[in-house]
Amino acid sequence: MNPLWFDIAHLLAGGVLVLSLMLLYQDRITAVINVFALQAVVLSLSVGWQALVQSAPHLVATALIALVAKGVIIPTALHRIVRKLDIHREVERVVSGGPTMLAGLGLVALSILLVQPVVETADPVAREDFAFALAVVLLGLLVMITRRNAVTQVIGFMSLENGLILAATGAKGMPLVVEVSVAFSVLIAFIVFGVFVFRIRERFDTVDVNVLERYRGERREHL
């Protein structure tokens, strides 16, 4: 295979990872949603490239699902929610940007350290892809735990799921069923989260999760 093909595959997978890191230091919700949409677009490009490299036409379907669902529908819906709730100006992080970025870099290093020896014998395209994918998953989790707004937590979860898709498509011969089911589960999760967010809003006039904690009578001030 042409070495350029690897390089492009790595470039695109690396792009997904860089966008995950960008998610970490965004302050505004609108910016977070935009970065997420961009990540979905890059992800679909990466998956499309994999379809070409592995000559697996079903991956094109996966790429399209990712592009339409995560690149267009979900961001649009989230933008609508944010506008409707009037929270697009809110800054809502628990840990400030610097330490979060440092932690994120540490996670990337850890996942490379962990994955590299395991997949040494694997197909060279899959090799780096797995490290990137694991890093994206971990960063998604990090987003979920460093934000206090329900909407950004949803985005963290979906970015985590992007990592899963990246891993699934990087490996040769992963059937389409898996990807379709993963995509649908995320869509359903998104719907559930959306309903949940609106219910919270109706009840408490905010989507700040801390208010829920206060409601349970266990607010801790240092959050």
Partner 1 sequence: MPEVTIGLWCIAGFLGTGVLGAVLGRHAVATPLVYGTAMCVALAAVLLALEVLLGAAPATSLVLPIGLPGLGAHFRLDALAAFFMLVVNFGAAAASLYAIGYGRHEKAPLRVLPFYGPFLAAMNLVLLAADAFTFLLSWELMSLASWTLVVSNHRQSANIRAGFIYLLMASFGTLCLLLTFGLLSNATGDFTFERMRAAGSSETVVAMATLLALVGAGSKAGLVPLHVWLPLAHPAAPSHVSALLSGVMTKVGVYGFMRIVFDVIGDLSPWAGLVVVVAGGATAVLGVLYAVMQRDLKRLLAYSTVENIGIIFIGLGLALAFRADGQAPAAALALTAALFHVLNHSVFKSLLFFGAGAVQSATGERDMEKLGGLVHRMPQTAVVFLIGCMSIAALPPLNGFVSEWMTFQAILLSPQLTPWGLKFAVPAVGAMLALAAALAGACFVKAFGVVFLSRPRSPAAANATEVDGFALTAMLMLAWVCVVAGTLPGFVIDALHPVTRALAGSALPTQAGVPWLSIVPIAESRSSYNGLIVFFFLIASGSMTALVVHRLASRRTRKSPAWDCGYPLDSPITQYSSASFAMPIRRVFGTVVFGVHETVDMPRPGEMRAGHYRLRVRDPAWRYLYGPLARLVLRSAHKLNRLQFLTIRRYLALVFAALIVLMLVVAAWR
Binding residues vs partner 1 (CB under 8 A)? 94, 107, 110-111, 113-114, 117, 138, 141-142, 144-145, 148, 153, 209, 212-213, 216, 218, 223
Contact 119, 127 (CB under 8 A): yes
- Residue closer to partner 1 by CB (options 86, 120) is 120
Closest distance to partner 1 from the beta carbon of 49 (Å): 28
Contact 105, 66 (CB under 8 A): no
- Residue closer to partner 1 by CB (options 177, 223) is 223
- Residue closer to partner 1 by CB (options 11, 94) is 94
Closest distance to partner 1 from the beta carbon of 12 (Å): 25
Cα separation, 25 vs 48, in Å, equals: 28
Closest distance to partner 1 from the beta carbon of 142 (Å): 7
- Residue closer to partner 1 by CB (options 172, 203) is 203
Helix extents (H) in 26-122: 29-53, 58-65, 74-85, 97-118
Cα separation, 49 vs 179, in Å, equals: 16
Closest distance to partner 1 from the beta carbon of 162 (Å): 17
Contact 138, 111 (CB under 8 A): yes
Token pair 């094109």 is found at 60
